[in-house]
Amino acid sequence: MSTAEKPVAQFTPKAVVFFVALVAAVLPWSNPAIALTLGIVVALAGCSAYEKQGKKVSRFLIQACVVLLGLRVNLGDVAKAAAEGVWLAIGTIVGTLTLGMLLAKVLKIERDPAVLVSSGTAICGGSAIAAVGSSIGATSSAMAVATGAVFVLNAVALYAFPPLGHLMHMTPEQFGTWCGVAVHDMSSVAGAAKAFDGKDVEAGQSAVDIANIVKMTRVLWIAPIAIGAGWWWRRSAKDGEAKAKKSAVIPWFIVLFLVASGVATYVPEVKQWGGAIKQGSGYGFQAALFLIGSGLSKKALREVGWRALVMAMVLWVCVAGSSLLVIRATM
Protein backbone atom coordinates (compact mmCIF):
# COMPACT_ATOMS: atom_id res chain seq x y z
CA MET A 1 0.00 0.00 0.00
CA SER A 2 1.36 3.42 -0.95
CA THR A 3 1.99 6.06 1.68
CA ALA A 4 -0.73 8.24 0.12
CA GLU A 5 -3.41 5.63 0.78
CA LYS A 6 -5.32 5.72 4.04
CA PRO A 7 -5.78 2.52 6.05
CA VAL A 8 -9.27 1.07 6.21
CA ALA A 9 -11.00 1.89 9.48
CA GLN A 10 -11.06 -1.07 11.86
CA PHE A 11 -14.26 -2.07 13.66
CA THR A 12 -12.58 -2.36 17.06
CA PRO A 13 -14.01 -3.95 20.24
CA LYS A 14 -14.41 -0.42 21.61
CA ALA A 15 -16.56 0.51 18.62
CA VAL A 16 -18.65 -2.65 19.11
CA VAL A 17 -19.33 -1.73 22.75
CA PHE A 18 -20.15 1.83 21.68
CA PHE A 19 -22.72 0.78 19.08
CA VAL A 20 -24.31 -1.89 21.30
CA ALA A 21 -24.77 0.75 24.02
CA LEU A 22 -26.16 3.23 21.46
CA VAL A 23 -28.76 0.70 20.29
CA ALA A 24 -29.68 -0.05 23.91
CA ALA A 25 -30.11 3.67 24.57
CA VAL A 26 -32.82 4.05 21.92
CA LEU A 27 -34.76 0.83 22.49
CA PRO A 28 -38.40 1.23 23.65
CA TRP A 29 -37.56 0.12 27.20
CA SER A 30 -35.04 2.93 27.58
CA ASN A 31 -35.68 6.56 28.54
CA PRO A 32 -33.68 9.84 28.44
CA ALA A 33 -32.06 9.28 31.85
CA ILE A 34 -30.96 5.75 30.90
CA ALA A 35 -29.63 6.97 27.55
CA LEU A 36 -27.51 9.68 29.17
CA THR A 37 -26.29 7.28 31.86
CA LEU A 38 -25.23 4.71 29.26
CA GLY A 39 -23.30 7.39 27.40
CA ILE A 40 -21.51 8.55 30.55
CA VAL A 41 -20.64 4.96 31.55
CA VAL A 42 -19.24 4.28 28.07
CA ALA A 43 -17.15 7.46 28.25
CA LEU A 44 -15.75 6.88 31.74
CA ALA A 45 -15.03 3.23 30.89
CA GLY A 46 -12.85 4.37 28.00
CA CYS A 47 -15.11 2.77 25.39
CA SER A 48 -16.25 5.97 23.70
CA ALA A 49 -15.71 6.08 19.95
CA TYR A 50 -16.09 8.73 17.26
CA GLU A 51 -16.10 11.67 19.71
CA LYS A 52 -15.84 14.37 17.04
CA GLN A 53 -18.46 12.77 14.83
CA GLY A 54 -20.67 12.21 17.86
CA LYS A 55 -20.76 15.93 18.66
CA LYS A 56 -21.85 16.79 15.13
CA VAL A 57 -24.42 14.00 14.94
CA SER A 58 -25.91 14.84 18.36
CA ARG A 59 -26.27 18.50 17.37
CA PHE A 60 -27.96 17.51 14.11
CA LEU A 61 -30.28 15.04 15.88
CA ILE A 62 -31.37 17.60 18.45
CA GLN A 63 -32.16 20.23 15.83
CA ALA A 64 -33.84 17.73 13.48
CA CYS A 65 -36.04 16.39 16.29
CA VAL A 66 -37.01 19.91 17.35
CA VAL A 67 -38.04 20.68 13.76
CA LEU A 68 -39.96 17.40 13.64
CA LEU A 69 -41.88 18.36 16.77
CA GLY A 70 -42.94 21.52 14.97
CA LEU A 71 -45.34 19.31 13.01
CA ARG A 72 -47.28 18.76 16.25
CA VAL A 73 -48.06 22.38 17.12
CA ASN A 74 -49.73 25.15 15.17
CA LEU A 75 -48.45 28.69 14.77
CA GLY A 76 -51.14 30.07 17.09
CA ASP A 77 -49.83 28.00 20.01
CA VAL A 78 -46.27 29.09 19.26
CA ALA A 79 -47.26 32.77 19.14
CA LYS A 80 -49.30 32.46 22.34
CA ALA A 81 -46.46 30.76 24.26
CA ALA A 82 -43.93 33.32 23.02
CA ALA A 83 -46.16 36.26 23.97
CA GLU A 84 -47.03 34.90 27.40
CA GLY A 85 -43.44 34.00 28.23
CA VAL A 86 -41.60 37.04 26.88
CA TRP A 87 -41.36 38.86 30.21
CA LEU A 88 -40.35 35.70 32.05
CA ALA A 89 -37.65 35.15 29.42
CA ILE A 90 -36.35 38.73 29.63
CA GLY A 91 -36.43 38.75 33.43
CA THR A 92 -34.62 35.43 33.89
CA ILE A 93 -32.02 36.11 31.18
CA VAL A 94 -31.14 39.61 32.42
CA GLY A 95 -31.23 38.46 36.05
CA THR A 96 -29.00 35.44 35.34
CA LEU A 97 -26.39 37.46 33.44
CA THR A 98 -26.31 40.14 36.16
CA LEU A 99 -26.08 37.65 39.01
CA GLY A 100 -23.43 35.72 37.09
CA MET A 101 -21.14 38.74 36.91
CA LEU A 102 -21.58 39.40 40.63
CA LEU A 103 -20.82 35.78 41.51
CA ALA A 104 -17.75 35.85 39.29
CA LYS A 105 -16.33 38.70 41.36
CA VAL A 106 -17.12 37.01 44.66
CA LEU A 107 -15.70 33.64 43.56
CA LYS A 108 -12.80 35.25 41.66
CA ILE A 109 -13.59 33.53 38.37
CA GLU A 110 -12.00 34.85 35.19
CA ARG A 111 -14.16 36.90 32.85
CA ASP A 112 -14.38 34.48 29.92
CA PRO A 113 -15.61 31.36 31.78
CA ALA A 114 -17.91 33.54 33.92
CA VAL A 115 -19.63 35.01 30.88
CA LEU A 116 -19.88 31.60 29.21
CA VAL A 117 -21.39 29.90 32.27
CA SER A 118 -23.84 32.80 32.70
CA SER A 119 -24.85 32.72 29.03
CA GLY A 120 -25.25 28.95 29.01
CA THR A 121 -27.46 29.07 32.10
CA ALA A 122 -29.49 32.04 30.90
CA ILE A 123 -30.25 30.84 27.37
CA CYS A 124 -29.63 27.29 26.18
CA GLY A 125 -26.51 25.62 27.52
CA GLY A 126 -23.92 24.39 25.05
CA SER A 127 -25.36 26.23 22.04
CA ALA A 128 -25.16 29.57 23.82
CA ILE A 129 -21.68 28.79 25.13
CA ALA A 130 -20.48 27.98 21.60
CA ALA A 131 -22.03 31.13 20.11
CA VAL A 132 -20.89 33.56 22.81
CA GLY A 133 -17.49 31.88 23.04
CA SER A 134 -17.00 32.35 19.30
CA SER A 135 -18.04 36.00 19.52
CA ILE A 136 -15.66 36.87 22.35
CA GLY A 137 -12.78 34.70 21.12
CA ALA A 138 -12.81 32.57 24.27
CA THR A 139 -10.05 30.03 24.82
CA SER A 140 -10.72 26.30 24.50
CA SER A 141 -10.02 25.97 28.22
CA ALA A 142 -12.74 28.49 29.11
CA MET A 143 -15.15 26.74 26.76
CA ALA A 144 -14.36 23.38 28.38
CA VAL A 145 -14.91 24.74 31.88
CA ALA A 146 -18.27 26.29 31.01
CA THR A 147 -19.46 23.29 29.01
CA GLY A 148 -18.44 20.88 31.77
CA ALA A 149 -20.26 22.83 34.48
CA VAL A 150 -23.42 23.08 32.39
CA PHE A 151 -23.20 19.39 31.46
CA VAL A 152 -23.17 18.30 35.10
CA LEU A 153 -26.26 20.35 35.93
CA ASN A 154 -28.04 19.23 32.76
CA ALA A 155 -27.61 15.66 33.92
CA VAL A 156 -28.95 16.52 37.38
CA ALA A 157 -32.00 18.23 35.86
CA LEU A 158 -32.74 15.29 33.60
CA TYR A 159 -32.92 12.97 36.60
CA ALA A 160 -34.47 15.35 39.17
CA PHE A 161 -37.06 17.45 37.32
CA PRO A 162 -39.62 14.77 36.28
CA PRO A 163 -40.13 13.33 39.82
CA LEU A 164 -40.19 16.87 41.27
CA GLY A 165 -42.85 17.87 38.74
CA HIS A 166 -45.03 14.91 39.69
CA LEU A 167 -44.41 15.51 43.40
CA MET A 168 -45.69 19.08 43.01
CA HIS A 169 -48.63 17.90 40.87
CA MET A 170 -47.65 20.20 38.01
CA THR A 171 -49.72 20.24 34.83
CA PRO A 172 -48.01 19.49 31.49
CA GLU A 173 -48.17 23.21 30.66
CA GLN A 174 -46.55 24.20 33.95
CA PHE A 175 -43.85 21.54 33.77
CA GLY A 176 -43.11 22.20 30.09
CA THR A 177 -42.72 25.91 30.79
CA TRP A 178 -40.49 25.22 33.79
CA CYS A 179 -38.28 22.86 31.77
CA GLY A 180 -37.99 25.35 28.91
CA VAL A 181 -36.82 28.06 31.30
CA ALA A 182 -34.75 26.19 33.89
CA VAL A 183 -33.07 23.32 32.01
CA HIS A 184 -30.07 24.29 29.90
CA ASP A 185 -29.78 22.26 26.69
CA MET A 186 -32.52 21.37 24.20
CA SER A 187 -31.77 17.65 24.54
CA SER A 188 -32.23 17.66 28.32
CA VAL A 189 -35.30 19.89 28.05
CA ALA A 190 -36.97 17.41 25.70
CA GLY A 191 -35.71 14.45 27.71
CA ALA A 192 -37.05 15.72 31.05
CA ALA A 193 -40.39 16.69 29.51
CA LYS A 194 -40.67 13.29 27.79
CA ALA A 195 -40.00 11.55 31.09
CA PHE A 196 -42.67 13.68 32.77
CA ASP A 197 -45.22 12.84 30.07
CA GLY A 198 -44.54 9.11 30.29
CA LYS A 199 -45.10 6.56 27.56
CA ASP A 200 -48.91 6.60 27.68
CA VAL A 201 -49.46 10.31 27.03
CA GLU A 202 -52.04 11.07 24.35
CA ALA A 203 -51.07 12.41 20.95
CA GLY A 204 -52.35 15.86 21.90
CA GLN A 205 -50.16 18.72 23.09
CA SER A 206 -47.94 17.65 25.98
CA ALA A 207 -45.15 18.88 28.23
CA VAL A 208 -42.67 18.09 25.42
CA ASP A 209 -44.45 20.45 23.02
CA ILE A 210 -44.68 23.26 25.56
CA ALA A 211 -41.06 22.80 26.69
CA ASN A 212 -39.71 22.99 23.15
CA ILE A 213 -41.70 26.11 22.29
CA VAL A 214 -40.60 27.89 25.48
CA LYS A 215 -36.96 26.88 25.04
CA MET A 216 -36.91 28.11 21.46
CA THR A 217 -38.21 31.52 22.49
CA ARG A 218 -35.06 31.64 24.63
CA VAL A 219 -32.78 30.27 21.92
CA LEU A 220 -33.72 33.33 19.85
CA TRP A 221 -31.69 35.36 22.35
CA ILE A 222 -28.46 33.66 21.28
CA ALA A 223 -27.86 36.12 18.44
CA PRO A 224 -28.32 39.43 20.37
CA ILE A 225 -26.44 38.17 23.43
CA ALA A 226 -23.53 36.86 21.32
CA ILE A 227 -23.35 40.03 19.24
CA GLY A 228 -23.54 42.22 22.36
CA ALA A 229 -20.83 40.20 24.13
CA GLY A 230 -18.59 40.43 21.06
CA TRP A 231 -19.07 44.20 20.87
CA TRP A 232 -18.29 44.58 24.58
CA TRP A 233 -15.13 42.44 24.26
CA ARG A 234 -13.86 44.38 21.23
CA ARG A 235 -14.55 47.66 23.01
CA SER A 236 -12.73 46.65 26.21
CA ALA A 237 -9.89 44.65 24.65
CA LYS A 238 -6.43 45.96 25.40
CA ASP A 239 -3.64 46.27 22.87
CA GLY A 240 -2.20 42.87 22.03
CA GLU A 241 -5.26 40.95 23.21
CA ALA A 242 -7.07 38.67 20.80
CA LYS A 243 -10.04 40.45 19.32
CA ALA A 244 -13.47 38.94 19.50
CA LYS A 245 -15.11 37.67 16.38
CA LYS A 246 -17.89 39.67 14.77
CA SER A 247 -20.02 36.74 13.74
CA ALA A 248 -22.67 35.02 15.83
CA VAL A 249 -24.28 31.65 15.43
CA ILE A 250 -27.72 31.97 13.86
CA PRO A 251 -30.13 29.26 15.07
CA TRP A 252 -31.56 28.40 11.64
CA PHE A 253 -33.37 25.34 12.98
CA ILE A 254 -35.86 27.71 14.63
CA VAL A 255 -36.87 28.97 11.18
CA LEU A 256 -37.39 25.36 10.08
CA PHE A 257 -39.43 24.69 13.22
CA LEU A 258 -41.72 27.59 12.32
CA VAL A 259 -42.03 26.23 8.77
CA ALA A 260 -42.99 22.81 10.19
CA SER A 261 -45.47 24.49 12.53
CA GLY A 262 -46.93 26.29 9.53
CA VAL A 263 -47.42 22.94 7.81
CA ALA A 264 -49.22 21.65 10.93
CA THR A 265 -51.43 24.75 10.89
CA TYR A 266 -52.45 24.69 7.24
CA VAL A 267 -52.30 20.95 6.53
CA PRO A 268 -54.48 19.45 9.31
CA GLU A 269 -53.92 15.91 8.02
CA VAL A 270 -50.42 16.01 9.50
CA LYS A 271 -51.83 15.93 13.02
CA GLN A 272 -52.92 12.32 12.65
CA TRP A 273 -49.22 11.44 12.74
CA GLY A 274 -48.72 13.31 16.03
CA GLY A 275 -48.14 10.20 18.15
CA ALA A 276 -45.63 8.68 15.73
CA ILE A 277 -43.80 12.03 15.40
CA LYS A 278 -43.51 12.37 19.17
CA GLN A 279 -42.26 8.80 19.52
CA GLY A 280 -39.72 9.14 16.70
CA SER A 281 -38.39 12.44 18.00
CA GLY A 282 -38.13 10.88 21.47
CA TYR A 283 -35.86 8.16 20.13
CA GLY A 284 -33.80 10.81 18.38
CA PHE A 285 -33.37 12.81 21.59
CA GLN A 286 -32.34 9.64 23.45
CA ALA A 287 -29.68 8.92 20.83
CA ALA A 288 -28.46 12.52 21.14
CA LEU A 289 -28.28 12.25 24.93
CA PHE A 290 -26.25 9.05 24.63
CA LEU A 291 -23.82 10.74 22.23
CA ILE A 292 -23.52 13.76 24.52
CA GLY A 293 -22.81 11.53 27.50
CA SER A 294 -20.27 9.47 25.54
CA GLY A 295 -18.39 12.67 24.71
CA LEU A 296 -17.68 13.35 28.37
CA SER A 297 -14.02 13.22 29.32
CA LYS A 298 -12.28 13.00 32.66
CA LYS A 299 -10.05 15.88 31.59
CA ALA A 300 -13.07 18.13 30.99
CA LEU A 301 -14.48 17.30 34.43
CA ARG A 302 -11.13 18.05 36.08
CA GLU A 303 -10.95 21.42 34.34
CA VAL A 304 -14.33 22.53 35.66
CA GLY A 305 -13.10 23.26 39.16
CA TRP A 306 -15.23 23.97 42.21
CA ARG A 307 -15.59 27.72 41.62
CA ALA A 308 -17.18 27.42 38.18
CA LEU A 309 -19.38 24.57 39.38
CA VAL A 310 -20.55 26.56 42.43
CA MET A 311 -21.29 29.55 40.21
CA ALA A 312 -23.25 27.43 37.73
CA MET A 313 -25.15 25.70 40.54
CA VAL A 314 -26.14 28.95 42.28
CA LEU A 315 -27.28 30.48 39.00
CA TRP A 316 -29.25 27.37 38.10
CA VAL A 317 -30.97 27.14 41.51
CA CYS A 318 -31.92 30.82 41.32
CA VAL A 319 -33.34 30.48 37.79
CA ALA A 320 -35.18 27.24 38.59
CA GLY A 321 -36.54 28.54 41.90
CA SER A 322 -37.67 31.98 40.72
CA SER A 323 -39.23 30.68 37.51
CA LEU A 324 -41.06 27.93 39.45
CA LEU A 325 -42.58 30.52 41.79
CA VAL A 326 -43.74 32.67 38.87
CA ILE A 327 -45.16 29.68 36.96
CA ARG A 328 -47.06 28.33 39.99
CA ALA A 329 -48.47 31.79 40.70
CA THR A 330 -49.54 32.63 37.15
CA MET A 331 -50.45 29.33 35.43
Give me the pLDDT at residue 111, please.
84
Query: By mean pLDDT, which of 145-159, 242-256, 311-325 is the weakest?
Result: 242-256
Q: What is the pLDDT of residues 285-322, one digit of tens each?
A: 888 888 888 887 777 667 677 888 899 999 999 999 99
Arithmetic mean of pLDDT over the chain: 81
Give me the pLDDT at residue 132, please.
83
Higher pLDDT, 250 or 33: 33
pTM for this predicted structure: 0.77
Q: What is the mean pLDDT of residues 34-51?
A: 84
With a cut of 80, say whether residue 256 has pLDDT above it: yes
Give me the pLDDT at residue 213, please.
85
- 3-class SS letters over the chain: CCCCCCCCCCCCHHHHHHHHHHHHHHCCCCCHHHHHHHHHHHHHCCCCCCHHHHHHHHHHHHHHHHHHHHHHCCHHHHHHHHHHHHHHHHHHHHHHHHHHHHHHHHHCCCHHHHHHHHHHHHCCCHHHHHHHHHHHCCCHHHHHHHHHHHHHHHHHHHHHHHHHHHHCCCCHHHHHHHHHHHCCCHHHHHHHHHHHHCCCCCCCCCHHHHHHHHHHHHHCCHHHHHHHHHHHHHHHCCCCCCCCCCCCCCCHHHHHHHHHHHHHHHCHHHHHHHHHHHHHHHHHHHHHHHHHHHCCCHHHHHHHHHHHHHHHHHHHHHHHHHHHHHHHHHC
Q: What is the pLDDT of residues 65-123, one digit of tens each?
A: 888 888 887 888 778 777 777 788 888 888 999 999 899 999 988 888 889 899 889 88
